[in-house]
Amino acid sequence: MVRESSPRHRRVVLRVVAVILALAGVGIALVFVRLSLDWSDSLPYESAATEARYILFIVVAVAIVVASMVVAIVLWRRAGRR
């Protein structure tokens, strides 16, 4: 049995938080894309403007995922050091 104050317990908790954070980032990006596309589809189609919006949505979604993954990796590695 692992005590709550043990370093191993802390490591496991931090790694679980890191995984949850990574998955949450992906989920937030998916929700962002879904809502953005719904909003964009409600506007009239203009070729250049619509394509620019879609590219912006992709860039923002990728930035959300990358940021959450970087934070999760840093948290995971710090948990392993202690």
pLDDT digits (tens, 9 = 90+) for 34-77: 999 999 999 999 999 999 999 999 999 999 999 999 999 999 99
Rounded-to-integer distance, Cα 64 and Cα 22, Å: 10
Output the CA–CA distances (angstroms, integers) from residue 47 to 10, 39, 76, in the order listed.
Answer: 52, 16, 43
What is this structure's pTM?
A: 0.83
Could you tell me how many residues make up the chain? 82
The residues, any chain, with a CB within 8 Å of residue 81's CB and separated by 6 or more, are none
Q: Predicted confidence band at 6 (pLDDT cuts at 50, 70, 90)?
A: confident
How far is the first Cα of the chain from the last one, in angstroms, to the nearest whole number? 19
